[in-house]
Amino acid sequence: MSVKLNTRQVGDVNVIDVAGRITLGEGSSALRDTLREMVAKNQKKILLNLGEVSYIDSSGIGELVSGFTTVTNQGGQLKLLNLTKRVRDLLQITKLITVLDVHDDEASAIRSFA
Amino acid sequence: MALRRPVLTGARTGGESEIVHILESTLESVDTAEALALGAARTTGLDQDELQKIAMAVRESMVNAVVHGNRYSAHKKVRLSIASGPKQFTVKVADEGEGFDFDHLPDPLAPENLLRSSGRGIFLIRAFMDEFQVRRLSPAGTEVTLIKYLMAR
C-alpha cells in the first residue's frame, strides 16, 4: 500500500529503488528522510529509481522537488530513473521534466554523474 | 481504527444518484475518499487513465479539505458527495475551514515557482477534471466541485 525504499551503491552513486506510493504522509516522509540521511553522510550522487512507483500525488511531487533542491544546494546531484507513464505525465504537465534530470537506462544514468 | 464514519444518504437530484459520506479530518479519510470515488467512477465506463485522473483530483481536494481547510480538527468533518448521471460524474468535497483564496494562487508553472515544494494541488485538479468550481459555504467552509464529462458510448 505504502512506499518501499531500497538503497544500493553502484560505484560512487547511491541508487534508491522506490516502489509503491509517494503520497502525503508516510510515503513522502520516508523518501525525505532517506534523502536527508544520504546528504548528511555526504552521499551526494543519488539516482532515484521510480520504476515501481504506482502513484504519486502533489505532495510526492513536492518531495521530489525539495529532494532535488536539497541535494543540489549541497553540491550534489539527484537524478531520476525509469519513470512510469503516470509519473512522466505528471512531471510533464508540471513542467518539472524541464528541470529534473531524467534517465531511462541505469547504466547510462550512472555514467552521467560527474 | 475506524476513522471513517460513512453516513450514506441516497438522494436523487435531477436523475443523478448522489451518495454522501461524512468523513473525519484525517489522512485515512483521504485514502477512503479516493477509494470511494474510484469505485463509483468505475461504473461509468471511463478508461483507466480517466479514472486515475479522477482519483487524483479527489485525493488533492481531500488533502486540501483535511490539511488546509479543517487542519486535522477532530471537531470538523469533510462532506464527500459522489453523483453519477448519464452526462457527468460529479464529486463535491466540502470542509468546515476558514476558507482559501483560490483567485490568487501562484502559477506553479512560472519559472520562479517551478522548484517550489508545494502549490501544485489545485493546478493538477484543474488539469485532470473537465470542470472545477469553488463555493464558499456559510457560516464557514469551502466546497469544491469536480466534474468529469461522460462521453457517449
Q: Does the CB of A57 have a partner CB in chain B at under 8 Å?
A: yes
**Min Cα–Cα distance to chain A from B111, Å:** 9
Q: Is B38 on the interface with A (CB under 8 A)?
A: no
CB contact under 8 A, B115 and A90: no
ipTM for the complex shown: 0.88
pLDDT digits (tens, 9 = 90+) for B71-106: 999 999 999 999 999 999 999 999 999 987 888 899
Asked whether the beta carbons of A60 and A94 are under 8 A apart, the reply is no
CA-wise closest residue to A64 among A35, A85, A104, A95:
A35
B3-38 pLDDT, tens per residue? Answer: 455 555 555 555 578 999 999 999 999 999 999 999
Contact B121 A58 (CB under 8 A): yes
Q: Per the CB < 8 Å rule, is A65 touching B127?
A: no
pTM confidence score: 0.89
Q: What angle do CA B142, B117, B147 make, to 5 degrees?
A: 35
Separation of alpha carbons A93 and B84, rounded Å: 28
